[in-house]
Amino acid sequence: MERIKTFFHRLFIPHEENNFRAKSLHTDFLTVYLVVAFLMMIAFKQGSIHNVLGFATDISVEKLAQLTNEQRQKNNLPPLSVNSALSLAAQKKAENMFQENYWSHYSPEGKTPWDFILGAGYKYEFAGENLAKNFLFSSGVVDAWMNSPTHRENLLKKDYTEVGYAIVNGILNGEQTTLVVQEFGKPIDSSFAPPSVQASEITQNVGAVPAVKPIIEKRSEQIVEQKAVQPKINPLNFTFNLNIIFMVFLLLALVLDFYFASKFNVLRIAGKNTAHILFIVFILIGLFMSTIGAII
Amino acid sequence: MAKHFYSSLKKEFKNHLLDYLLLITAGIFFLILLNTFRGQRIIEFFVLVSFAFFYIVWGVFHHIVNETLHLKTVVEYILIAFIIIFLLKIIILP
């Protein structure tokens, strides 16, 4: 017990034995942290290149569907069931965005979300699309959609009964990107007569739109429900938590060192703990902000 | 403990008000830029690296002004800045 006490005393409290600076903040300790951080960075990069670690996000179709339905249930709306044709449409849309290198609801060649939905053999009465990129966690995606009026409208539209998702990694505008595509729909029921004249086209953010196109022949494509391969421990989630633990450890060491050094009026050659604390606090806030991607 | 910590912190900020205001302004600017370029990972990483380098320069400048500059001190700022860059690189640019 005494040895543990001495160990922590040396690690965090500035006194004669650690040259009046918490051992955990000594240059040799900081060098060890640097080497570990560098090795982690290399290992993660290698893992991503060889696809050993799986997706560089912790987003899954199951979680997105669960969170979307939770939001609908909170608003007294029926849950949406995952439809494989809509998932295929979402997958094709994401692939097309990578192929043609665009971040929009409409492709440079003029393809609309409805082209992908109809192309997947889904005959709709109502349909809509939400897009997101570079989020780290499923909850961040759904929260961002809920905070945007147009996306929220899609999520909570009572006309929709089904949904499809795709989470696809690729290179967009020269950078590694994780795209999330969410396609909503309500299948046309057999008694519904499709309009013979096209209704007005939508102009802005894609929201729910009525069926505006002639219904195409249903294709006999084999549709496999898109599902992200999720390892038991997601490496990104693990690294994210490790980063937070390490920064909190560093903050604790800096705060204790600052407190005891000022209490004992210790004069020493060292960096300013207050500056280090401020820097790490800003970085921690930035770390949480970097989990949030972009939506359209 | 909290009272003593708070008064020491206050004293430190009061003694170097302009320096800390500069660091806090840079920190706020860093967060605004991160928010502006949300989802654009390369720019986010560039913003992070810029802030980390600013922090090193701030440290050197602060210790020059206070005539407490020492190689060990500079190394300390560089080490902390690079630890943060390497750790956040994994999250921002996996």
CB nearest to B88's CB, from A177, A283, A293: A283
Contact between chains at B77 and A258 (C-beta distance less than 8 A) = no
- The whole-number pLDDT of residue B94 equals 67
What are the backbone angles phi and psi of residue A14, rounded to the nearest 5°? -70, 125
Query: Is A188 a residue whose pLDDT tops 70?
Result: yes
List the single residue in A with minimal CA-CA distance to B6: A259
Parallel, antiparallel, or unpaired for β A124-133 and A209-210? antiparallel
Q: HSE on the CB side for A77, CA within 13 Å?
A: 20
Report which secondary-structure segment, H or E, holds A131.
strand A124-133
Contact between chains at B40 and A175 (C-beta distance less than 8 A) = yes
The pLDDT tens digits along chain B (94 residues) read 778 888 888 989 999 999 999 999 999 999 999 999 887 888 999 999 999 999 999 999 999 999 999 999 999 999 999 999 998 888 887 6
| Distance from the Cα of residue A203 to its chain's centroid | 28
Distance CA A182, CA B50 (A): 35
Question: Does ipTM top 0.85?
Answer: yes
Query: Is A155 a residue whose pLDDT tops 70?
Result: yes
Residues of B in contact with A285 (CB under 8 A): 31
Residues of B in contact with A292 (CB under 8 A): 38-39
Q: Which residue has the higher pLDDT, B83 or A216?
A: B83
Sign of the dihedral through C-alpha A91, A226, A129, A143: negative
Q: Does A237 touch chain B (CB under 8 A)?
A: no
Residues of B in contact with A269 (CB under 8 A): 68, 70, 72-73
CB A91 within 8 A of CB A168: yes
| Distance from the Cα of residue A4 to its chain's centroid | 40
Query: Is A204 a residue whose pLDDT tops 70?
Result: no
Query: Is A227 a residue whose pLDDT tops 70?
Result: no
Q: Does B64 touch chain A (CB under 8 A)?
A: no
Residue showing tokens 């560039």: B46
For chain A, the C-alpha Rg in angstroms (whole number) is: 26
List the single residue in A with minimal CA-CA distance to B32: A286
Q: At A231, is the secondary structure helix, strand, or coil?
A: coil
Distance CA A172, CA B45 (A): 16
